[in-house]
Amino acid sequence: MSDPSALTSEALAAIGKAQTEQELERIEVEYLGRKGGRVSKLLEGIGKLGPEQKASLGKAVNEAKRAIEAALAAMRAELEASRLADLAETEAIDITFPGPPLGRGHIHVLTQVRRQIETVLESLGYQVELGPEVETEWYNFEALNLTVGHPARENWDSFYFNSQLLLRAHTSPVQIRAMQRIKEPPIYIITPGRCYRRDAPEATRLPYFSQVEGLAVDKGLTVGDMKGTLLYMIQSLYGRDRKVRVRPSYFPFTEPSFEFDVTCGICGGMGCKSCRHKGWLEVGGCGMVHPQVLRNGGIDPAQWNGYAWGFGIERMAMLKHDVDDIRLFYESDLRFLEQF
Amino acid sequence: MRISYEWLGDFLDLDGVTPKDAAEVLTRLGIEVESLTMVDLSQIVIGKVLEQKQHATSRTALWIHQVDLGDHVQQIIAGAPNAVPGSLVPVALPGTTVPNGKLVRDTYIAGEKASGMLCSADELLLGEDHAGILILDRGKPGDALTTVIPSQAIMEAEITSNRPDEMGHLGIARELAAGLDRPLKRDFMPAFTGTADPPGRDLVKVTIDDPDLSSRYIGGVIKGVRVGPSPEWMQRRLRACGVRPINNIVDITNYVLLEYAQPLHAFDLAKLNGPAIHVRRAKANEKLLCLDGEERRLTPDMLVIADALRPVAIAGVIGGEETAVTGATVDVLLEAANFSGPSVRQTSRALGLRTEASARFERALPPELALAGARRAASLISELAGGSVHREWADVYPRPQEPVRVNLRPALIDDVLGTHVPLEEAESILKRLNFHVKVMADGEWDILPPVFRLDVTIPEDLVEEVGRVYGYDRVPPTLPGRRRDSWTPSAPSLDRRLDSMREVLAGSGYTETWNPALVSGRNLEALRIAAHAMRVSNPLSDDMDTLRTSVLPSLIDVVALNRDRGRLDVRVYEIAAAFLARVGDKNTQPEEPLRLAAVATAGLTAEDGRVAFYRLKSVLDGCVAALAAPACTYQRASAQLFHPGRCAAVVMEGRQLGYIGELHPTVAAAARIDGRVVAFEIDVEPVLAASRIPRALPLPRFPGVERDLAVVVEETVAAGALLATIKESAGDLLELVRAFDEYRGAQVPEGHKSVAFTLTFRSSERTLTDAEVDRVMSEIKVALEKRHRARFRE
């Protein structure tokens, strides 16, 4: 039977000399092991001792155990700290080496722009309405005051299937359908979707394209409200520094009618090559809904009025991302699509 | 329409208004000036040609001129021969830049000194004529050219289709005057009338067959004119507007067209049979040799001007050559008429001929304009070509223009604009635009628009007139907002709901494309998917003459295109409508099912195709799962475009959504694609309809037990059938079963395969014992043996 304090000194000396965590592990087992550890062995034959001796031995053994445990923990912390101190050298990697290609797919830039437009207008309380791409003559033209022989109709030269059916030339038919369906204003809707016009493909226009039109029908709407809505939309999409102007124009389905322009993003409205020295870029058309168009949608113009606007999603994307040829959107060359 | 700034100065005082200012004011008023070309003539001087001789040694024809420049004579070489001795010509001296941008240098041409340049109209941007040197009709040698021709500014403006009155300089000037609040110096209706006897209406008989097509025809008789060149100022203005000068009579008709927007025509009265004018439809097989030298075949839906025997002009489009005014003409019949817009447009389209006249008639001119134009032209002819204008012209006017009155509640102006326009200002604006305003006892305004404004018919039109002159930039932007007692709750749009599918596809390496819906009908037929195709009756070309009945062919083309451009691995998709004609009534709109289609290239071997098929299936399952819709099942099927042994119908809750599979080798080959391509196309709307809000399940509290099972069956037994049997026979404890491997070869008999499954068992109430799981496993094995004659590999 050895003396607890001598055993403690011996153990502490061994711990002090230990170089690795494995060594500490061995020392721990040797001295503190549950079965056969040398500290535990001190208690062998304790049963034969008297109560006082029993108590004093027990106390001494416990002290020895605590001292050894504390020394082990301290040494472990020391060894671990020195091991981690070397990590910078031992496990260094070349962080400039590029990661492997992710092989991710891309969401079409027109989807992205459409999504932004929907989000911005939804934040103003507008709801998305959809409608058929193959439309009837009535919804595409007549209901919008574009009667047969109307001189403005040549701006909406269309693809026909027969005298009654055609590919819609704008998403305005959805406005009529929405008014008929909703019946009771207030109506605040936007109508994104594909449209078709009989224009030969070139860098600035295509026979197929996508529009977003908006329609608000409520009590006491004004040209100012329309301007504010367009300004909110444009600034949300392009930044606070953009300005919007409305310029009188003519559409049979609005009165008054306007084109709306946005200050050029390159020169900020001063005039530069990319805006052809105008300072403004043409974006779309807008106006106060013609009373007859409201009537065609089943809305009483004596009680309600409205404003509407429309523009091409491609045009918005071209302005936003400096795309100079509209055909790129529909050509599906991955080298283009993967830029967005 | 081209606008000459100089010309506008005839009608209003432009003092202090630069061409740029004018362009800005017009744009704000609704006449969009698209470009402004400044023609600075201040550096050009007038020279007088003293001598002209041909260059002796030059290989190309060149003429050497001695030109008097006032204080000295200079030698100038030119390529055109028309600057004969005595001509007054514009000269650009060395060091000057000519308006078209050319810098003139002192030089030698084939050994001869050339000090300067004689300018053509084209080089000075005064017209398109570049054939010869511009010959001046007056001027002093050595003086600046601007002493006879002012510097110019030409605006190119877009005129909206409701404003034919703006297709003349007077109409533009009227707008500008209103915008600048300056007086307009010219009345709409000239006072001029003829005085010569007998009355013109006794000299020519005018009849109109169909007042719907021609509501008015004025035939003015002017006798004894002297045909010759028109004055330089008139020629200059015509050239500036892109019209070639011909002779004084023709030039005057064109000049008035560009001034009043009223097209006119002058006939040589002596060549009209009758003399009579008959406005009628063309007869079948009639022809007319037109002023442009082309003979045109006429059809009965075209309106013509005929004399007693034959057509002499196509109404509102172009005149005939045989009755045209020539140097020999003495007596003239001046036509000022009104033709129906749609009829002129139809004729002009049918003939493929758009003229200054047809462009104006197409937009429906007011018949009152005809008299104003006729009077203006007659006064100019009398002034510039002599002749006596007869009194009381033939004026057949079966449909007199009805005066329009509009009542305006003036508060509507503020209500619509959203800003306050003082009443006096609104009234002043309307008056400046020649509207007659009468304020009535009840405060409403009784308004009479001018006769040339057929576009104004409702109160909102008047609000627009006030608004555009008042200035829309003065209307403050606001957002609509008020207390509402009804609304529609917000809901995500269809397209936004599909975004979760787009996320899965993007994560799986698929790129979204937008492809044209108009495709080649012939290609759809070749693919045998044209059964419900809708064909466009007026296509632009035959490669886009039909609406696609499927999105897949577009994606196949995308693969081919990107392969051609060097991309081997192509994974793309599109979400778009397919168009399927409904059987029966051809006037019903087609079905437009929204489709999701995806394609991916695989390698060259059958095994590559097999692996790619299963991968694509995972992508499709992922898309469906992203919408929280029930999982799809797959049933062996055959479909157009697909490989007969590698195609499945995609089924959700008993409803077929579409197909997935490898493309048929002939389909890939037809698109010039080497190797295998896998694809699917499904209807999206049923998936959205089946979409549910995912409900959270409690996490398992007890461990699961996993077991693998290798099942050897005959080749014809489908994994799907084995899975169904396993699920059915396993009972409640089976949580998940997944097939993970298919194996043929050693230890598996010929004509058989081994399919490996991983099964996970779990109870929500206790930890399962091996014995329990063993019992279930043996029940599964029994069922598999019985139903599929399966054996098991250890």
DSSP per position, A114-141: HHHHHHHHHTTT-EE----SEEEHHHHT
Residue whose C-alpha is closest to residue B267's, from B234, B230, B313: B313
CATH number of residue B709's parent domain? 3.30.70.380
A127, A132, A291 member nearest B592 (Cβ): A132
Instruction: Specify if A139 maps to a domain.
Output: yes
Q: Taking CB atoms and an 8 Å cutoff, what residues of chain A touch B579?
A: 133-134
A194, A258, A290 member nearest B517 (Cβ): A194
Residue A304: closest C-alpha in chain B = B416
Per-residue pLDDT of B509-533, as tens digits, reads: 999 999 999 999 999 999 999 999 9
User: In this structure, are A147 and A55 located in the same domain?
Assistant: no
Q: What is the DSSP string of B478-530?
A: -------S--------HHHHTHHHHHHHHHTT-EE----SEE-HHHHHHTT--
User: In this structure, are B626 and B505 located in the same domain?
Assistant: yes
Instruction: Specify if A104 maps to a domain.
Output: no
* pLDDT for residue A2: 66
Q: Could you give the number of structural domains in chain B?
A: 6
CA distance A232 to chain B (A): 8
Q: Taking CB atoms and an 8 Å cutoff, what residues of chain B touch A273?
A: none
User: In this structure, are A71 and A115 located in the same domain?
Assistant: no
Share above pLDDT 90 across residues of chain B, in percent, rounded to a whole number? 85
Test B416 with A155 for CB contact under 8 angstroms: no
Report how far residue B355's alpha carbon sits from residue B316's, in angstroms, rounded to the nearest whole number. 9
Test A151 with B163 for CB contact under 8 angstroms: no
Hey, CA dihedral for B362, B368, B369, B371, is it positive or negative?
A: positive
Strands B511-512 and B571-577: parallel
User: In this structure, are B437 and B299 located in the same domain?
Assistant: no
Instruction: Specify if A319 maps to a domain.
Output: yes
A107, A244, A249 member nearest B160 (Cβ): A249
CA distance B287 to chain A (A): 26
Q: Taking CB atoms and an 8 Å cutoff, what residues of chain B touch A306?
A: none
Coil/strand/helix, residue B264: strand
DSSP state of B144: B
Q: Taking CB atoms and an 8 Å cutoff, what residues of chain A touch B565?
A: 333, 335
Question: Are B31 and B175 within 8 A, CB to CB?
Answer: yes
Report how far residue A5's alpha carbon sits from residue A8's, in angstroms, rounded to the nearest whole number. 5
User: In this structure, are A157 and A242 located in the same domain?
Assistant: yes
User: In this structure, are A116 and A169 located in the same domain?
Assistant: yes
User: In this structure, are B630 and B725 located in the same domain?
Assistant: no
Instruction: Specify if A98 maps to a domain.
Output: no
The token pair that represents A266 in the structure block: 């390159």
Instruction: Specify if B466 maps to a domain.
Output: yes
Per-residue pLDDT of A136-165, as tens digits, reads: 999 999 999 998 888 888 788 999 999 899
Q: Helix H segments across B73-228?
A: 169-180
Question: Would you give per-residue pLDDT tens digits along chain A (340 residues)?
Answer: 468 888 889 988 999 898 888 899 999 999 888 877 888 888 887 778 888 888 888 888 888 889 999 999 999 999 888 888 888 888 889 999 999 988 899 999 999 999 999 999 999 999 999 999 999 999 999 999 998 888 888 788 999 999 899 999 999 999 999 999 999 999 999 999 999 999 999 999 999 999 999 999 999 999 999 999 999 999 999 999 999 999 999 999 999 999 999 998 888 888 888 788 888 999 999 999 999 999 999 999 999 999 999 999 999 999 999 899 999 999 999 999 999 9
Window A:101-130, CB contacts with B under 8 Å: 103-108, 110-111, 114-115, 118, 122, 124-125, 127-128, 130
Report how far residue B404's alpha carbon sits from residue B587's, in angstroms, rounded to the nearest whole number. 39
The token pair that represents B597 in the structure block: 């289609």
Instruction: Specify if A148 maps to a domain.
Output: yes
Test A198 with B538 for CB contact under 8 angstroms: yes
User: In this structure, are A129 and A268 located in the same domain?
Assistant: yes
Q: What is the 3-state secondary structure (H, E, C) of B594-661?
A: EEEEEEEECCCCHHHHHHHHHHHHHHHHHHHHHCCCCCCEEEECCCCCEEEEEEEEEEECCEEEEEEE
User: In this structure, are B391 and B437 located in the same domain?
Assistant: no
Residue finishing a domain among A90, A120, A135 = A90
The token pair that represents B20 in the structure block: 């740029």
Per-residue pLDDT of B423-446, as tens digits, reads: 999 999 999 999 999 999 999 999
**HSE-up of residue A56 (Cα within 13 Å, Cβ side):** 6
Report how far residue B382's alpha carbon sits from residue A10's, in angstroms, rounded to the nearest whole number. 137
Test B477 with A250 for CB contact under 8 angstroms: no
| Residue found by looking up tokens 């050994």 in the block | B111
| Residue found by looking up tokens 């000036």 in the block | B33
CB-based contacts of B451: which residues, under 8 Å, 6+ apart?
A: B188, B366, B368, B369, B401, B403
Q: A167 — contact with chain B (CB < 8 Å)? A: yes
User: In this structure, are B213 and B324 located in the same domain?
Assistant: yes
Question: Are B145 and B135 within 8 A, CB to CB?
Answer: no
Instruction: Specify if B188 maps to a domain.
Output: no
User: In this structure, are A71 and A187 located in the same domain?
Assistant: no
Angle at B565 between CA B560 and CA B569, to 5 degrees: 65
User: In this structure, are A153 and A60 located in the same domain?
Assistant: no
Instruction: Specify if A122 maps to a domain.
Output: yes
Residue finishing a domain among B396, B418, B450 = B396
User: In this structure, are A78 and A213 located in the same domain?
Assistant: no
Instruction: Specify if B747 maps to a domain.
Output: yes
Strand spans (E) along B134-213 = 152-158, 205-208
Residue finishing a domain among B396, B425, B455 = B396
User: In this structure, are A31 and A114 located in the same domain?
Assistant: no
Instruction: Specify if B187 maps to a domain.
Output: no
Domain containing residue B522: 494-690
User: In this structure, are B653 and B757 located in the same domain?
Assistant: no
Residue whose C-alpha is closest to residue A144's, from A328, A285, A338: A285
Q: What is the 3-state secondary structure (H, E, C) of B420-460?
A: CCCHHHHHHHHHHCCCEEEECCCCCEEEECCCCCCCCCCHH
Residue finishing a domain among A44, A59, A90 = A90
Domain containing residue A56: 4-90
User: In this structure, are B166 and B49 located in the same domain?
Assistant: no
The token pair that represents A79 in the structure block: 């060894």
Test B345 with A149 for CB contact under 8 angstroms: yes
* pLDDT for residue A4: 83
Instruction: Specify if A95 maps to a domain.
Output: no
Residue whose C-alpha is closest to residue B360's, from B271, B276, B258: B258
User: In this structure, are B171 and B300 located in the same domain?
Assistant: no
A122, A133, A332 member nearest B561 (Cβ): A332
Q: A238 — contact with chain B (CB < 8 Å)? A: no
CATH number of residue A137's parent domain? 3.30.930.10
Residue B493: closest C-alpha in chain A = A128
Residue whose C-alpha is closest to residue A289's, from A124, A209, A178, A202: A178
User: In this structure, are B143 and B159 located in the same domain?
Assistant: no
CATH number of residue B526's parent domain? 3.30.930.10
Across A290-310, b (16+ Cβ under 10 Å) vs e yields bbbbbebbebebeebbbbbbb
User: In this structure, are B638 and B715 located in the same domain?
Assistant: no
Rounded to whole angstroms, the maximal C-alpha distance in chain B is 128
Q: Helix H segments across B713-769?
A: 719-730
Q: A332 — contact with chain B (CB < 8 Å)? A: yes
B341, B417, B510 member nearest A224 (Cβ): B417
Residue B30: closest C-alpha in chain A = A248
Test B561 with A220 for CB contact under 8 angstroms: no
* pLDDT for residue B631: 94
Residue finishing a domain among B473, B505, B529 = B473
User: In this structure, are A177 and A45 located in the same domain?
Assistant: no
Mutation target for A interface from B32, B166, B345, B488: give the one with most A CBs within 10 A.
B488
Report how far residue B236's alpha carbon sits from residue B552's, in angstroms, rounded to the nearest whole number. 60
User: In this structure, are A311 and A197 located in the same domain?
Assistant: yes
User: In this structure, are A265 and A141 located in the same domain?
Assistant: yes
Amino acid at B760: T
Report how far residue A169's alpha carbon sits from residue B365's, in angstroms, rounded to the nearest whole number. 27
Q: A336 — contact with chain B (CB < 8 Å)? A: no
Residue B561: closest C-alpha in chain A = A333
Instruction: Specify if B597 maps to a domain.
Output: yes
CA distance B695 to chain A (A): 27
Q: What is the dihedral of CA B501, B502, B505, B506, to 10 degrees?
A: -150
Instruction: Specify if B401 maps to a domain.
Output: no
Q: What is the DSSP string of A178-238?
A: HHHHH-SS-EEEEEEEEEE------SS--SEEEEEEEEEEESS--HHHHHHHHHHHHHHHH
Q: Taking CB atoms and an 8 Å cutoff, what residues of chain B touch A156?
A: none
CA distance B597 to chain A (A): 14
ipTM rounded to 2 decimals: 0.86
The H or E element spanning position A148 is: none
Amino acid at A212: V
User: In this structure, are B22 and B94 located in the same domain?
Assistant: no
Instruction: Specify if B336 maps to a domain.
Output: yes
Test A151 with B363 for CB contact under 8 angstroms: yes
CA distances from A49 to A35, A44, A58, A148, B230 (A): 22, 10, 11, 121, 145
Paired strand residues for B656: B651
Instruction: Specify if A103 maps to a domain.
Output: no
User: In this structure, are B771 and B736 located in the same domain?
Assistant: yes
Q: A192 — contact with chain B (CB < 8 Å)? A: yes
Q: Could you give the number of structural domains in chain A?
A: 2
Which residues of chain B are modeled with pLDDT < 50?
A: none
Amino acid at B261: A
CA distance A95 to chain B (A): 25
